[in-house]
Amino acid sequence: GGDAAALYITDGKGELTDTILFPNLKNRDWEDLTYDSLGNIYIGDFGNNLNQRTDLQIYIFNKHSNAVDSITFQYSDQTDFPPVAAKKNYDMEAFFWHDNQLHLFSKNKIGHGNYYCKHYSLSDQPGAQTAILKDSIYLKNRVVTAAAISPDAKTVALLAYDYKKLLGIFPFSRASIFYFTKFQGHHFLKGNMRKRRAPSFIVATQFESLDFLNNRKLYVASEQTLFIKPKAKRVKVRP
C-alpha cells in the first residue's frame, strides 16, 4: 500500500524485465493477483487491516488491449466499519479466479481473532457488487495470506502462517499449506483437507503468496522483512 500503482514483470528468476505503470490508479493496499483465460489480470486492492474500508476494489487489466476496468464491492455480512474486535475478519489478502467468479479468502487477526477464514465470491464482471459469503473454516493458529487453484481445478491451496515472539523477544513464524480436493462445485472448503508444512526459512518471515506452476508444483513466496530479502521457493504437491 502506498507504493506505485504498477505491475512488475520478471524473467522467472527474480530479475526485473519490465514495469507496467497505471497513472490513473491508486495503490491503497494491493494484496494479490489472479488471472482468467481471456488475458485479464485481476489486482486485489482489498487490504483492510483496520476492517474499516468502504472503497474496496479489484482492478481488471487486459494484457492484450491494455484496457483497465474495476469491480467495487462490499461484504454481505459487514454492517459496522470497523466492527467490534471479536468480529474483525474483513481483511483480505488472498483470491483466485475460477469459473467466471473471483473467490476471496479472509485473513483473521493473529493473536486476537478466532482463526476462522471466510470464503466469499464475486462475479468477474466490472461494476458495483456485494461479495457473497459462501463458507468458512477454522485453521488453528493460522491466518490466510494467499490462495490458488491448480490448472486442472482439482486442488485449491491456502497459504497460512502464524507469528509471535518467543520469550517476548525472539521473532518466530511458522506456516502451512492447506490443500483441498474432491470438493463439489465452488464449495472448496468442504472438500478433503490436507495440511503440509510450508518451506522453512532461517529466521522469522511473512509468508505472503503462492501459485501453481502446474498441477503438482507450487511457488511459495515470503515478504521482505527487517532480517531477510523476499524469497520464493518451489514446493511439490504431495498426495
Q: What is the pLDDT along the chain (239 residues), one digit of tens a residue?
A: 888 999 999 887 889 999 999 999 999 999 999 999 999 999 999 999 999 999 999 999 999 999 999 999 999 999 999 999 989 999 999 999 999 999 999 999 887 889 999 999 999 999 999 999 999 999 999 999 999 999 999 999 999 998 777 666 676 778 899 999 999 999 999 999 999 988 776 565 788 899 999 999 999 988 887 777 788 889 999 76
- Identify the pLDDT of residue 203: 60
- Identify the pLDDT of residue 167: 67
- Identify the pLDDT of residue 225: 75
Q: Which residue has the cell 474486535?
A: 85
* CB atoms near residue 11 (< 10 Å): 9
- Identify the pLDDT of residue 219: 92
Size of the chain in residues: 239
Nearest to 40 by CA among 86, 83, 102: 102
* CB atoms near residue 192 (< 10 Å): 9
Q: How large is the C-alpha radius of gyration of the chain?
A: 17
Backbone phi and psi for residue 85, each to the nearest 5 degrees, phi listed first? -55, -40
CB 159, CB 146: distance < 8 Å: yes
3-state helix, strand, coil in the chain (%, to 5): 5, 55, 45
The pTM of this model reads 0.94
- Identify the pLDDT of residue 199: 78
CB 174, CB 162: distance < 8 Å: yes
- Identify the pLDDT of residue 239: 67
Question: How far is Cα 127 from Cα 80, in angstroms, rounded to an integer?
Answer: 23
Question: How far is Cα 117 from Cα 64, in angstroms, rounded to an integer?
Answer: 34
Q: 119 CB contacts (<8 Å, ≥6 apart)?
A: 103, 104, 105, 106, 133, 134, 135, 136, 137, 188, 189
Question: How far is Cα 228 from Cα 143, in angstroms, rounded to an integer?
Answer: 21
